Amino acid sequence: MATTVGSADEDGGGGRGSTDAALCGDEDGGREGVRAAGSRARAAAHRRRRRQTVVAYLFLTPSLFFFAVFLVLPLLFAVLLSLSRWAGFDLADIRPVGTDNFAALFARGSSFLTPVLSNTLLYALGTVVLALSGAVLVAHCITNLRFQGLWRTLYFLPIVTTVVAVGNVWKYMYEPGGLVNGVLNALGLRSAAFLQDPATALPSIVVVQAWASLGSAILVLTAGLKAIPRSYYEAAELDGAGQFTVFARITLPLLRPSLLFVCVTQFITGLQSFALIIVMTGEGGPGDATNVAALEMYQRAFKYGDWGSASAAALVLFVLILVITLVQLWLFRRKGEDA
Amino acid sequence: MRRRRRFPWLSYLLVGVGAVVTVVPFLDMLLTSFKGAGEYGRLPYRFLPEAFELSNYREAFVRLDLPLLFRNSVVATAVITGSVLLTSSLAGYALAKLRFPGRDLIFRLVLATMMFPPFVFFIPHFLILVHWPLAGGNGLLGDGGAGLTVSLAALVMPFLVSGFGIFLMRQFIVSVPDEMLEAARIDGAGEFTVWWRIVVPQTKPVAVTLALLTFVSAWNEYIWALLVSTANPRLMTLPVGIQTLQSYLDPNRMVPVMMAGLMLSVLPVLLLFLLLQKYYIRGVMLSGLK
């Protein structure tokens, strides 16, 4: 009996502990014994639960401390800053100004809506369109080839490479003496000033961002392709459907969840990115041609020391991304109901 | 995959051209790093260097304090990776296998942390580190000194815990059989022993995945490292240090040196990725991001 209660003690699950005790009681044949063992087991289970709570919170302490200091506090701080004017490092100098910072962002003549926010949207949209269409084609074609792993590894290289390398290599490939213009010249075309011309600067960087994100898109789409039952293709083959019909009528519709996923995550990544732009153009130039919201925030804060309006810009972009994330969740849920 | 292959050549052509476009910039980086003085920027463009010169690598060592850059990158990456593994495993175990009030709430909080874009935190993180109490000459209220921006801690602090890491670990630990944990507990093991002796060995595969993902992103981190090293140049990491080369005057001379520096910074990660790519790819599939 003692050993059984002991094991109930180790068990911790209140329900199971009392069942064990009840079983013992039946063996003893007395109701008194059942009650005594039951209450002892309950007390033990209670002690055990309390000990488990303490241990669990001990295990969680580093993470919770971190989230408090580097997540909750900064969020509150960002909101506070966005409602203040502050140019220094002395916390006593913070002056509340209400919603002035937001008003200034959206004021007539402010560059925040155009070109900064419009650039941000174009950048994200362009990246998604290029990366997604490229990834669909490549992921689909790879399934016809041998050495699939090798191909995917090649496409994956840019993802594990630092943005400083990606940005600089492409920046110098776009230069007059670089590879891209070299190829253009070899084809008999004139050199283009890709990053110096306001008309071509943003698209030129969009291409690089799409190039860099192709690999992960291919990976997700490959997983989606592998999930499509072979029998669908066999049935289509029996019906004599051509390859393009099969692709348009079977592959694409069944791939919709993966497509949607890649589309939305890449779009959100595109809205946030600015490191590539810093590396390739320095300050979002020429003029504001490649300036995007996150870069604008970065410069307002760390170049001009205007923490208030920088935080306001960050929060506007944050809300935009939050809305898009919610739409994404909504779309996914609807998709789940369809299926 | 056995499929109708009416146009295999079309597939080969498309995938092949794409692969060339993907790989050529890396080749260009490698080849340019061997180009001699005056060779970059000369027209017409030539893909191959005239002679494979190592002078750019020597120049990179002269222009940059490479030992310092390497040390900062290695220390920061190691600390971040170690910390993320440890805290994710501990928190993941608690959330997966221990019963306590507030568990669901904390798990939801962890999921929510993945939704916040990093740029929202740049400004507050920087200010928090500057005003960190009792560090770098600061008083109890965090005033008076430079805070943590004087030390390597500034490079790692915002990355020590990962919501995604906790999530990944928790999902994996849930599948560790309860019977194994129970058996250890009956033998008198405390929860810490159960975690260390049963859970940690069981979670090795996912730990490798998480370590690799964390390593790559920490090694490649640019914006945050740029920020803290603007405050304190002794904190420069490899990517930040190499980027400073572009401020030298003669770009045609500097580009090959820069490519040499970039090769040095990219090679460790590329090698690690090629060795352990199956773990990395699984991680990206699991996270679906990046």
Report the alpha-carbon distance of residue B202 to residue B206 in Å, rounded: 9
Chain A contact for B249 (CB, 8 A cutoff): no
The residues facing A95 across adjacent strands are A85
pLDDT tens for residues B82-140?
Answer: 999 999 999 999 999 999 999 999 999 999 888 888 888 998 998 888 888 877 677 76
Per the CB < 8 Å rule, is A314 touching B243? no
Rama region for A102: left / alpha / beta (φ>0; ψ in -120 to 50; rest):
alpha
Question: What percent of chain B lies above the pLDDT cut of 70?
Answer: 93
Helices (H) and strands (E) in chain B, counts: 15, 0
Report the alpha-carbon distance of residue A87 to residue B55 in Å, rounded: 45
- The tally of CA atoms less than 13 A away on the side-chain side of residue A320 is 21
- Which residues of B are less than 8 Å from A278 in CB distance? 223, 226
Chain A contact for B3 (CB, 8 A cutoff): yes
Chain A contact for B275 (CB, 8 A cutoff): no
Residue A186, token pair as written in the block: 């070899």
Residue among A158, A165, A219 minimizing CB distance to B262: A165
Mean pLDDT for B251-255 is: 81
Question: Does the pLDDT value for residue A6 go beyond 50?
Answer: no
Report the alpha-carbon distance of residue B203 to residue A280 in Å, rounded: 41
Chain A contact for B131 (CB, 8 A cutoff): yes
Provide ipTM, 2 decimals: 0.89
Fold of A107-334: MetI-like fold (1.10.3720)
What residue in A sits closest to B185 (Cα-Cα)? A10
The better pLDDT of the pair A240, B70 is held by B70
Q: Is residue A113 a contact partner of residue A94, using CB atoms and an 8 Å limit?
A: no
Which run of H or E residues covers position A68? none
Report the alpha-carbon distance of residue A159 to residue A206 in Å, rounded: 15
What residue in B sits closest to A177 (Cα-Cα)? B41
Q: How many CB atoms lie within 10 A of CB A26?
A: 11
Per the CB < 8 Å rule, is B273 touching A49? no
Per the CB < 8 Å rule, is B43 touching A220? no
Question: Does the pLDDT value for residue B4 go beyond 60?
Answer: no
Q: Which amino acid is at A291?
A: N
Chain A contact for B112 (CB, 8 A cutoff): no
What pLDDT does B7 receive? Answer: 61
The residues facing A84 across adjacent strands are A96
Report the alpha-carbon distance of residue A290 to residue B140 in Å, rounded: 43
ω before B256 within 30° of 0 (cis)? no
Lowest-pLDDT choice from A11-20, A147-156, A307-316, B156-165: A11-20
What residue in B sits closest to A159 (Cα-Cα)? B290
pLDDT tens for residues A55-105?
Answer: 999 999 999 999 999 999 999 999 999 999 887 667 777 888 888 999 999
| A338: closest CA of chain B, how far (Å) | 22
Per the CB < 8 Å rule, is B40 touching A60? no
Report the alpha-carbon distance of residue A109 to residue A177 in Å, rounded: 38
What pLDDT does A23 receive? Answer: 42
Question: What percent of chain B lies above the pLDDT cut of 90?
Answer: 54
What count of residues does chain B have? Answer: 290
Chain A contact for B269 (CB, 8 A cutoff): yes
Residue A60, token pair as written in the block: 């969680």
What residue in A sits closest to B195 (Cα-Cα)? A59
Chain A contact for B244 (CB, 8 A cutoff): no
The residue of B7, B11, B157 whose CB has the most chain A CBs within 10 angstroms, and thus the best one to mutate to test that interface, is B11
Chain A contact for B38 (CB, 8 A cutoff): no
Residue A199 C-alpha from the chain's centroid: 29
Mean pLDDT for A260-276 is: 90
Chain A contact for B108 (CB, 8 A cutoff): no
**What are the structural domain ranges in chain A?**
39-93, 107-334
What count of residues does chain A have? Answer: 339
- Is A64 exposed, middle or buried (CB count within 10 Å of its CB: 0-12, 13-18, 19+)? middle
- Is A298 exposed, middle or buried (CB count within 10 Å of its CB: 0-12, 13-18, 19+)? buried
- Is A100 exposed, middle or buried (CB count within 10 Å of its CB: 0-12, 13-18, 19+)? middle
- Is B152 exposed, middle or buried (CB count within 10 Å of its CB: 0-12, 13-18, 19+)? middle
Q: Is residue B7 a contact partner of residue A243, using CB atoms and an 8 Å limit?
A: yes
Reported as a pLDDT band with limits 50, 70 and 90, residue A248 is confident
Question: Does the pLDDT value for residue A22 go beyond 60?
Answer: no
What angle in degrees, to the nearest 10, is found between the helix axes of B66-97 and B163-173?
40
Nearest to residue B154, comparing CAs of B214, B204, B224, B98?
Answer: B224
Per the CB < 8 Å rule, is A59 touching B130? no
Q: Is residue A112 a contact partner of residue A191, using CB atoms and an 8 Å limit?
A: no
Residue environment code for B105-128, b if the CB has 16+ CB neighbours within 10 A, otherwise e = ebbebbeebeebbebbbbbbbbbb
Q: Residues 6 or more apart from B53 whose CB is under 8 A from it?
A: B34, B35, B36
Per the CB < 8 Å rule, is A170 touching B12? no
Nearest to residue B88, comparing CAs of B14, B162, B5?
Answer: B162
Interstrand relation of A84-85 and A95-96 (parallel, antiparallel or unpaired): antiparallel
Per the CB < 8 Å rule, is B122 touching A141? no
- Which residues of B are less than 8 Å from A176 in CB distance? 41, 43
Per the CB < 8 Å rule, is B113 touching A71? yes
| A165: closest CA of chain B, how far (Å) | 6
Question: Does the pLDDT value for residue B252 go beyond 80?
Answer: no
Report the alpha-carbon distance of residue A162 to residue A278 in Å, rounded: 13
Lowest-pLDDT choice from A184-188, B7-11, B72-76, B204-208: B7-11
| A36: closest CA of chain B, how far (Å) | 23
What pLDDT does A202 receive? Answer: 96
Q: What is the pTM of this model?
A: 0.86
**What are the structural domain ranges in chain B?**
65-288
Q: How many CB atoms lie within 10 A of CB A206?
A: 23
Report the alpha-carbon distance of residue B184 to residue B186 in Å, rounded: 5
The residues facing A85 across adjacent strands are A95
Look up tokens 């690598």; give the residue: B57
The residue of A61, A77, A143, A168 whose CB has the most chain B CBs within 10 angstroms, and thus the best one to mutate to test that interface, is A168
pLDDT tens for residues B189-242?
Answer: 888 999 999 999 999 999 999 999 999 999 999 999 999 998 889 999 999 999
CATH class of B65-288: mainly alpha
| A192: closest CA of chain B, how far (Å) | 14
Reported as a pLDDT band with limits 50, 70 and 90, residue A142 is confident
Report the alpha-carbon distance of residue B37 to residue B49 in Å, rounded: 11
Nearest to residue B91, comparing CAs of B160, B147, B154?
Answer: B160
